[in-house]
Amino acid sequence: MMKNTTISRRTFMKGAAATAVVVSAGGLLSACASQEAAPADAARDEPAQEEPEQAQEEPAQEAADEATPADGILVAYFSGTGNTQGIAEAIAVELDADTFVITPVDPYSRDDLGYNNPDSRTSQERNDPNRSVELEQVTPDNFDSYGTVFLGYPIWWGNASWAIDNFVSGNDFTGKTVIPFCTSGSSPIGSSAQDLAAMAGTGEWREGRRFGAGSVDDASAWLGELGY
Ligand SMILES: Cc1cc2nc3c(=O)[nH]c(=O)nc-3n(C[C@H](O)[C@H](O)[C@H](O)COP(=O)(O)O)c2cc1C
Q: Is 6 in the pocket of ligand 1 (CB under 6 A)?
A: no
**Confidence band (pLDDT; 50, 70, 90) for 71?**
very high
Q: Is 12 in the pocket of ligand 1 (CB under 6 A)?
A: no
Between 38 and 120, the higher pLDDT residue: 120
Cα 100 from Cα 98, distance rounded (Å): 7
pLDDT in tens, 184-213: 999 999 999 999 999 999 999 999 999 999
What's residue 5's pLDDT? 33
Give the mutation target among 83, 102, 120, 156 for probing the ligand 1 site: most ligand atoms within 8 A of CB: 156
Q: State pLDDT tens for residues 9-46.
A: 333 333 333 333 333 433 333 333 333 333 334 333 44
Assess whether the C-beta atom of 164 lies below 6 angstroms from ligand 1.
no
Indicate whether 64 pLDDT > 90.
no
Q: Where are the beta strands (DSSP E) in 19-103?
A: 72-77, 98-101
pLDDT tens digits, 146-185: 999 999 999 999 999 999 999 999 999 999 999 999 999 9
Helix axis angle for 83-95 and 216-226, nearest 10°, is 50
Residue type, 44: R
